[in-house]
Structures are given as structure tokens and as C-alpha cells.
Structure 1
Amino acid sequence: MSLSQATQEEPSSEYRYHLLRAATERFQSGLAGLDAAQLRQVEQQAQQTFALESLVLSTSEARDTLIPERRLDEAVAEIRDRYLDTADFTAELNANGLEETTLRNALRRELVFDAVMQRIGSRAEPVTETDERLFYELHHERFIAPERRGARQILITINEEYAENGREAARARIDQIAETLKKRPQDFGKLAQAHSECPTAMQQGQLGTLPRGQLYPELDATLFALEPGQISEVVESEIGLHLLLCETAEPATTVTFDQARTRIHAILAARQSKDCQKRWLAALQQQAPPRTEVSTA
């Protein structure tokens, strides 16, 4: 596959890197493995990211940014480590019109871009306590931890293709387990391990600690009606017959502002940093000349 600009000039290695990065991100493939429709999508993404990177690298902020050689070594090594060996790595670069030297140059540009954008983001207005409290009040539902139940289950599936799992046989089996549990409720885990046909049998039927809505509706309603230590009657779902043990009950709780404040601050700081970057980029783009399109031929 040959690459060329609309002017028939050979595209830069930096642009080739954007093509390869887009192909990897979107399709987990090199350029040679793409069909025509996929290649068009990759080209569109690469043109956008390359143009944006070039715009940022034309600024005084970028000219003042130096990337240590050690950081470049690490960036190259991170990519090389995705391949079986150096030969495989080199072959993939060559197949996409790159070599290690040109990859290094492309990575330098990428690291400068990231450093500049981080610096621009740091110019954002600081987050105030008023901002934090307003966010907490406007998104109060995000700080409510729902009621949860710690549970175990025993499942006997219904499958008419197997004699032991026909409806009558399955019911008889789980009724017998239920009778045993009435005498020895403390053996629920052992009986789950011995008889349950759910993968959780390996963990003695343990389902974990669950909020509402994680189980089949019939099981959900039954579990949240149980008290800690209580075992359900036999419950039927679309996959079979169940016995549930409620081990713990955690009531719904509200995370206080003080408990949530660190997380809120991080959310708002990231948002304001991103908004600051967007405004800076928008101002650059207004001043920028039209870009040259790059395509495959």
C-alpha cells in the first residue's frame, strides 16, 4: 500500500505514525489488514489528529518544551514490548512505512503535544469549595450507596433432555436439599458446593454483596425480602430452581460532602482543565490556515 498527499508528495513518517495509531486503535490492525472502508475511517482520524498535533507544535509553548531522551527510550520500548521480538517489531514498522528512527521522531511530537496540553490545562481556574458544594447538591443521587445483600445460592437447573434435571426430578432434588437445610442451615455452603449447578458452587454458592437489579427479578425480590441468616423457600427463575441464603444486609447510605469532596474536586479539576484546553485550541484553529489533506492512493 502506498501513501501520498493530494499533491502527490510522499507523506511524512509522522503522518504515517498517525495512520498506524488510528488503525491500531480502531481495528487492532496494521494498515495492510484494512479494507477500503476501514482505511477511509483511519485516514479521517489520522488527518484530524495529525493536523491538531501540527497546530499545537507550531506554538511557542511547544518550542519551549523539551522531551528527555530517556523518556523517548521508554516510549519506544513500550511499543516494542507489544511484539514477540525485535525482528517482529521492525517488520511491522517497515510494513507501515516506518523505521525506529522515524518512530522516535513521531513519538517525540506526540510527547511534546501531551506536555503542552497538560501545561495549558494547568492554567484553568482553581476549583473552589462553592464549585464542589454546588456539584454535590446538583448530583446528589450519585452519592447515595444503594441497599445491598450478601448472598449465597443453590441452583438446580431444569432441562428436560436429562432425566435428573426434568422438572419433577429437579424439584425433588432441591426439596430434599431444602429439608436438609431446615435441620442444618449452617451447612448451606457445603451443600452448595456438593449439589449446586451454578459456577458459584466452587465458592460454596457465594454470589457476593449485591445491590438490587443484579439477579433475575424473582431472585432479586426474594433476596431483598430476607433477613440476615434467613434461607428462602424454593424460587423458580428461567434457568431453574434456587435456594437463597441472605448472609448480610447493608442499608442504603448517603456519602457525605466531606467524604465525597476529594472525588468531586478531581472531577471538576479535570473538567475545567479540559475546557481550558478546548478554548485554547479553538483560538489556535481560528488563526490557522486551511490544512492540506492527506490520503492513500
Structure 2
Amino acid sequence: MNTEHGGRYHLLRVAHEQFGCEPARLGAEQRQQAERIVERQLRIEAAVLASAEARGVVIPDGQVEQALARIAERYADAAALQQALAASDLDAALLRLLLARELKVEAILERVCAALPPLGDTELSLYYFNHPEQFARPEARTARHILITVNPDFAENTRDAARARLEAIGKRLRSKPERFAEQALKHSECPTALNGGQLGQVVPGTLYAELETCLFALREGQLSGVVESPLGFHLLRCEAIVPARRIALEDALPRLRERLEQRRRKAFQRQWLARLLDSNACVENAHG
């Protein structure tokens, strides 16, 4: 295995992750961008594997097979994967070696920051109180809807007929609002019909503007008139109003700890890599 093999593998991965295609389908500018990324990745990989922290790091075969399985999921079948590998002058055996190498780099980077002490509650609390906007949750609505689509190919779904059908449903529901879920199941042409038209907890920016404006103007328990969106005609019911709130510190702590510790690990790894690459560059210059 050599740098050329690694370059072909990284190019295959970068093409998929950055551009969603095989290397052969990259445009000239995309190819140049991908090759710059690959060149840097290879330089980092070589430096990490040659570092003192790499000693004793071994990747189990099972971990390599899991990584291979994740790659295989991108392709329709095993033949499609083999074809893609062959197009990059790779095969399954070589891919396993390259994956083991990549996993070893990741394991070394994890080892580098293993000695970092865990974040204390005081640090997390300070972040929480200094960034209140990150823990604010806007006012929301729990809602249901009934949709009748417009399709001139069907008499019952012409524009006038669709609206008339929904107005008739709305008239029935104004006298018996508790039947909304039943009517949604029976008449709605949205997949949510199977769940009684339930939209769940809706926050601003979730629905079409026409629907959102209407929904957030409703009182709790109120039924809307007929509202049109690009999907068709709707009836909306506001089941509950969830006031704007701030996530409590004790509820925020678990995810906040995970997020900040991951951010700190990444920053520490970047600093370590920068020092390592600078050191290698100095050595190369001295020998040059």
C-alpha cells in the first residue's frame, strides 16, 4: 500500500461526501478542489501515523468490517461497490487496509485528547447563562389539519369542489369539534390522516406561510376557516398553545456537556495537528 492508493481512496470518499458522485463525474473545478482536500488529508494522515502518540494503537478487524459495511450502504449492491472500486483502481482487500489506516488516525486523534479533564458544572453553567439565546424555545402550537388537494383530473378535486368539500367538513366540525381526528382519518388527503391529522408541535418556520399565519392566530381549541397553500385547501385546529420558554439548566446540561466537550476535543486536536505539521515542516526544511 502506498500514498497513491491512499490518494485514490480519499478522492473516492471526498467525491461522495462533498459532491455526491464518483470521481470520474467530477467537473474540472470540483476535481481540483477535491484533490486539494485529498493532498491535505494525506499529509495529515502521514504526520499522525508517524507521531509518538501512534505507538501501540491497533484497530480490531471488526471495526474495519463495520466501516466497510457503512461504505457498502451507499451502493445499490455489492456489484455496484466493486465497480466503483475498480474505477478507482481499488479492490475490497485494499479498501480494508485503507480503512484500517483511516480508523487508526481517528483513534490516535482521540488518544491525543484523552487526558483532557471533563468540563465541570461551573463551566457549563457559565456557558448556559452567557448564551441565553441558545436555550430559548419559541412559542409553539400543537395542531391537526385536514387537507383536500386540487386536481382538475378528478371531479371531486376540482378547485371549487375541493373547497366545497372542505367547507362542508368544517361546518360539521364546528358543532362537533371533538370529531376532528375522525374526520381527518376519513377525508384528509395528507399522510397525517393516519394519525388523525396530527401535525405535532409546530414552531415558526415549519409550515407554509399561509398556514403558519393562520395557525398562530388561533386560540386554543379553535378551528380555522378554509386556508389555501400550494398543497391545496386546509382546515386547521389549534389543540394547545405552548408558551415561549427557556430550557432549564438541568435539562440542558447533558446535551450541552456533550456538545461543548466535543467542540473542545476538536479544538485541541486541531492545535495538536498544527504543532505536529509545523514540527514536521521544520524538520523537512532542516534536511532540505
Q: Distance in 2 between matches of 1:230 and 1:283?
A: 63
Instruction: Give the alignment partner of residue 120 of structure 1, picking from 109, 112, 121.
Output: 112
Letter in 2 for 1:224: F
More displaced stretch, 12-21 vs 255-264: 12-21
Give 1:129 deviation, angstroms: 2.4
Letter in 2 for 1:144: A
Paired position in structure 2 for 1:64: 56
Segment drifting more, 133-142 vs 14-23: 14-23
CA distance in 2 between partners of 1:230 and 1:82 (Å) = 47
Give the partner amino acid of 1:124: L
CA-CA distance at 1:205 after TM superposition: 2.6
Task: Verify the 8 A CA contact 2:3 2:42 in the aligned structure 1.
Answer: no
Distance 2:70 2:206 in 1: 39
Determine the C-alpha separation between the residues in 2 that align with 1:116 and 1:143.
Answer: 34
Inter-partner Cα distance in structure 1 for 2:44 and 2:99: 15
Residues 1:267 and 2:277 aligned together: no
Give the aligned partner of residue 147 of structure 1. Answer: 139
Cα distance change on mapping 1:127 and 1:242 into 2, 3 Å: same
* Match of residue 27, structure 1, among 10, 19, 41: 19
Aligned-partner Cα distance in 1 for 2:209–2:42: 50
Q: State the alpha-carbon separation in 1 of the partners of residues 68 and 229 from structure 2.
A: 53
CA distance change for structure 1 residues 258 and 22 in 2, over 3 Å: closer, same or farther? same
Instruction: Summarize the Cα distance change of 1:215–1:31 in structure 2 as closer, same or farther, 3 Å threshold.
Output: closer
Partner of 2:271: 279
SS of the equivalent of 2:29 reads helix
Q: What percentage of aligned pairs have identical amino acids?
A: 41
- Give the Cα–Cα distance (whole angstroms) in 2 for the partners of residues 199 and 263 of structure 1: 32
- Residue of structure 1 in register with 2:235 after alignment: 243
Distance 2:188 2:106 in 1: 53
Q: How does 1:58-207 map to 2 (within 5 A)?
A: 58-76=50-68, 78-79=70-71, 89-156=81-148, 169-207=161-199
User: Deviation of residue 232 (structure 1)?
Assistant: 2.6
C-alpha distance 213-35 of structure 1, shift in aligned 2 (>3 A): closer
Larger radius of gyration: 1
Deviates further, 89-98 or 146-155: 89-98
Helix, strand or coil for the counterpart of 1:105? Answer: helix
Contact 1:158 1:240 survives alignment (8 Å): yes
Report the Cα distance in structure 2 between the residues aligned to 1:107 and 1:257, rounded to whole angstroms: 41
1:85-108 CA-to-partner distances (Å, cap 9, x unmatched) read 666544543332223443333223
CA RMSD across the alignment: 3.3
Change (3 A) 1:18 1:126: same
SS in 2 for 1:12: helix
Shift of 1:282: 1.1
Q: What TM-score do you get using the length of structure 2 for normalisation?
A: 0.81
Q: Please, which moves more after superposition, 154-163 or 68-77?
A: 154-163
Deviation for aligned residue 1:169:
4.9
Aligned residue pairs, count: 283
Inter-partner Cα distance in structure 1 for 2:155 and 2:211: 25
Kindly tell me: are residues 13 and 158 of structure 1, through their superposed partners in 2, closer, same or farther at Cα, counting changes over 3 Å? Answer: closer
Decide whether the 8 Å contact of 1:125 with 1:272 is kept in 2: no
Structure 2: give runs of 5+ residues left out of the alignment: none
Give the TM-score taking structure 1 as reference length. Answer: 0.78
Question: 1:244: Cα distance to partner?
Answer: 1.9
Q: Matched residue of 1:191: which SS?
A: helix
Aligned to 2:45: 53
Residue identity in the other structure for 1:185 = P
- Cα separation, partners in 2 of 1:104 and 1:238, compared to 1, 3 Å: closer
Amino acid paired to 2:248: T
The residue type paired with residue 274 of structure 2 is A
Q: Which has the higher contact order (CA 8 A, sep 6+)?
A: 1
For 1:97, what is the secondary structure of its paired residue? coil
